[in-house]
A = this chain, B = another copy of it.
Amino acid sequence: MKSRVAVVAEGMTKFGKREASWRDLAAEAGKATLEGAKNLSREDIDTLIVATADEEVYLSAYVAEILGLRPKHAFKLENLCDSGGSAISTAYAYISSGLAKAALVLGVEKMTHRDFAPQLYWDFTRGGITPPIVWGAMYARRHMAEFGTTEEQLAMISVKNHNFAASNPYAHFQKPIDIDQVMASKKLIPPIKLFDCSPLSDGAAGLILTSEEKAGEVTDTPVYVAGVGQSTTGATFGNVNREFTSWPATVLAAKDSYAMAEVSPKMIDVAEVHDAFTINEIIAYEDLGFAERGRGGQFVQEGRADVGGDVAVNTRGGLIGAGHPIGATGVAQAAQLVRQLQGEAGKNQVSGAELGLMHNLSAAASTCSVLIFKREN
């Protein structure tokens, strides 16, 4: 009988422009996460996975030492913006297989010392234009042309997520905004404006996952990993993007995750989706089965993605409001779902939430993780 896998603790740093190195951020989030698991000692942590796109080598052993851990299994895992989702999936595998009993997943990234996010310079199918905003704009235009999605609907995503972020003390941005502000923000590549984008952020976030048996000793409110779905459809933009209104990797990952969790999209109470740009969240509604194809714009407009709607999406502020420190993003998404399922999400709490879904993308959505978390008590 395979062990079920629970999340028993989470912790994080404030995201944003931080006067701190990746080492400082890792220590801060690691300490916060370990303190969140009151009945678990450092000796219990037998696995450490550091999710990051940082180029430094051997940093998992370094992180182990500064946190006072001596794990059996420890390594760095990188899958660009989906590093967090991949690391949680890997921790699940270690525990479910029986090799491990308790894993600390720590996502960390120092970004604001760079001018822009890492780019895939080798991908000539992008026409030599590698910044992610270019594909964001292509998808937004195509979705508008095909389904009548409006710039105002895109702006509503930004408004919703900034407003959620305003009550999250860990978020990069902490002020409510309105549609006029989004529409008037700096035009970058039409229809994408500054407030349609997630920012470069520094930050770190941690999760502790354990076997079901160990979880029972540590917490009264374990949250189980119910579904794990992942897909890599390729790496080059030209090879994985055809219709420009859907991401096959999301559809494939979601199918596997729903099947494993034995749930349907309509049953999800709360979700964290990868809103690198506002259009991403609209397409995610559709690819994940929350909204019908082409109706993502209406979905946000009708308030169906708000607390009290069909599914509350990005209640910590999403990447747009909370920030996007690459390796930390997926881990922070999962942390928010855990808080929601434990009833600890504060002002943005979804009453009685039982099922949470996270959706983490990489590189023009050529890779996707869809994880489903479940509260049972």
Q: Is the CB of B2 within 8 A of A65?
A: no
Given A93-B90, A234-B61, A235-B62, A79 and B79 contact (CB-CB distance below 8 Å): no
**A86-103 vs B, Cβ < 8 Å mask (1 yes, 0 no):** 100110111011111000
Give Cα distance in the complex from A100 to B93, angstroms.
9
- How distant is A1 from chain B, measured CB to nearest CB, in Å? 8
Say yes or no: is A118 at the interface (Cβ < 8 Å to chain B): yes
A contact residues, range: 35 or more
Is A256 interfacial (CB 8 A cutoff)? yes
Contacts of A75 in B (CB 8 A): 77-79, 83, 86, 90
Interface stretch (choices A51-59, A268-276, A346-354)? A51-59
Question: Do B72 and A232 touch across chains, with their CB atoms under 8 A apart?
Answer: yes
**CB under 8 Å from chain B, chain A span 206-249:** 228-236, 239
Bits for A16-50, please: 1 = Cβ < 8 Å to B, else 0. Answer: 00000000000000000000000000000000100
A13 at the interface (CB under 8 A from B): no
Contact status B74-A79, CB under 8 Å: yes
CB nearest to A73 among chain B residues: B230
Can you give 6 contacting A-B residue pairs, CB < 8 Å?
A58-B78, A61-B367, A64-B234, A72-B229, A73-B86, A96-B96
Given contacts A61-B362, A69-B232, A96-B96, 19 further A-B contacts (CB under 8 A): A2-B2, A48-B232, A55-B55, A57-B118, A58-B79, A58-B80, A58-B362, A61-B235, A61-B363, A61-B366, A62-B122, A64-B235, A70-B231, A72-B232, A74-B86, A75-B86, A90-B93, A93-B94, A97-B97
